[in-house]
Amino acid sequence: MTHSLKFISIILLVLFIFSCKNSEETAQDLYSIKIDINKSKPEPKYSDFIENYDFVPLQTKKESLIGNVDKVITTKNDIYMLDIFSTKSVFKFSRKGEFVSKIGFLGDGPGGYTLPLDFEIDLNQEKIFVLDNGVRLCVYDLDGSFIENKPLSSFTANRVAVLDKGDLAWLQGGIEDKLLVTNNELKNIQSFFSYRSQEIEIIPSQTFQKTKNNQIVFRQNFNDTVYVMDNKRPVPKLYLDFQNAKFTNKNLEEAISKKSPFQSLVAEFSGSNGFFEVNNAYLISAFVRGKPYLVAHSKKTNNTLIAALQQIENDITIEKQTSYPIGIDHYTDSVIFLVSTQSLFRAIDNYKGENTTYFNRLKELSKTMDKDDNPILLFAKIKDEF
CATH no. for residue 281? 2.120.10.30
Q: Count the domains in the chain.
A: 1
Inside any domain, residue 335: yes
Do 201 and 17 touch, CB atoms closer than 8 A?
yes
Q: How many CB atoms lie within 10 A of CB 52?
A: 10
Quick one: pLDDT at residue 248? 66
Inside any domain, residue 75: yes
Residue numbers of the domain that contains 270:
7-382
Whether pLDDT at 12 is above 50: no
pLDDT, tens only, 296-310: 999 999 999 999 999
Inside any domain, residue 265: yes
3-class state of residue 113 by DSSP: strand
Is 259 buried (19+), middle (13-18) or exposed (0-12) by CB count in 10 A?
exposed
Q: Of 69-78, 107-116, 186-195, which gets the smallest average pLDDT?
A: 186-195
Measured CA to CA, the distance from residue 323 to residue 213 in angstroms comes to 27
Whether pLDDT at 93 is above 80: yes
Inside any domain, residue 334: yes
Average confidence score pLDDT of the chain: 87
Q: What is the model's pTM?
A: 0.89
Inside any domain, residue 324: yes
Inside any domain, residue 142: yes
- Whose CA is closest to 158, among 210, 120, 123? 120
Quick one: pLDDT at residue 324? 84
CA gyration radius, the chain = 20
- Whose CA is closest to 266, among 37, 27, 10? 10
